[in-house]
Amino acid sequence: MARRRQKTRKSKGLGAAGTLLLGLLVAVGAAGAAAWLVYTPFGPATETFVELAPGSSAVRIGRQLEAAGVVRSRYAFYLVRWLKRGTLLAGEYRFDHPATVEEVYARIERGDVYTVTVVVPEGATIFDIGARLEQAGLGTRQKFLEEQARQTGLIADLDPKAKSLEGYLFPDTYRFARKATMAHITAAMVRQFRLAAAQLGLKENVHAVVTMASLVEKETALDAERPLVASVFENRLAQRMPLMTDPAVIYGLEIAGDWRGVIHQSDLKRNTPYNTYLHAGLPPGPIANPGMQSLRAAMSPARTDYLYFVAAGANPQGRSLFSTTLAEHARDVTGYRNALKKAGGR
């Protein structure tokens, strides 16, 4: 009887060890499964967008990611969330390749939202900006033109008579959400203009300054020449001489839908409000969106006696030619034409 009881106790001891071993194996298996779910890349091979609304919980985000096929299991995402305990940021995210759950989580934690980049160069017009937005897939050119004309209230305090946002859409590199509205886009560009104006201290005669700056912007790309070009325009205005600037004529043709890509002699006789050959004074409003240097030049033109110049863009030597008299200007024009012929122009 004693031997039998000893054997029974031995059997019970092996059972406890077996249970412990089984539990250990289960734990190792679970850990391995969890590690596989977290660290094995998974996700779409093609472009997939997931939009996380503001205030979304980790549970909701995990479900969205799983439903979109970005993570294999929402529970793996919850595990990483529990370990990291970071803040998850709202926005639209783009996934286009398999990734680990940890990588997906890290992108959402740092707010790596998907944006569309649009570069607005200095001197771009509303027509140029509309075309760039359309090319970026943010909406049609026509829709932008209509929206910016409706949003003149954004600058009513600066330019109460403005009929468009031309001149107030500041040149910069913008990053917009894929579903950004035209109203949001125009507001962002105007906001950048206001920041630039505040930095320059531009508070008075805003309409005239921005209009002048737009002319300067279109006539030269050289920062050193901008105050000189502004001085020419200011001197001509003081003497009641027409500004005779081709970019303004071109803009008038664009507004009328008659711009042919190349300016012709007949265009200089076309009677639009922007034809500065026919009408003295500044044009009705800005003809482009000027950058910081052109705004600064319009606010503080150089002090010169210049009344004429051959624009840098028209000079093969790459610089503008300034003159005080018509005879000097005629000489510069002749020199420009000769240089153009040598360069292979007409």
What pLDDT does residue 315 have?
A: 47
Nearest alpha-carbon partner for 78 in 22, 49, 118, 38:
38
User: Right CATH number for 48-109 from 3.40.50.300, 3.40.50.720, 3.40.50.450, 3.30.1490.480?
Assistant: 3.30.1490.480
pTM above 0.85, yes or no: no
Strand ranges (E), the chain: 48-52, 91-95, 116-120, 172-176, 308-310, 321-323
Distance CA 240, CA 138 (A): 44
* C-alpha dist (Å) from residue 271 to 26, 125, 218, 250, 268: 87, 21, 21, 12, 8
Regions of the chain with pLDDT less than 70: 1-37, 39, 312-317, 336, 339-346
What pLDDT does residue 232 have?
A: 97
| Enclosing H/E stretch for 269 | none
Nearest alpha-carbon partner for 210 in 252, 165, 271:
165
CB 69 within 8 A of CB 96: no
Distance CA 323, CA 89 (A): 59
What pLDDT does residue 11 have?
A: 47
Q: Percent of the chain at pLDDT above 70?
A: 84
Three-state DSSP class for 174? strand
What pLDDT does residue 23 have?
A: 58
Residues found in the chain: 346
Domains in the chain: boundaries:
48-109, 116-200, 206-342
Q: Can you name the CATH fold of 116-200? A: Dna Ligase; domain 1 (3.30.1490)
Nearest alpha-carbon partner for 281 in 228, 233, 210, 216:
233
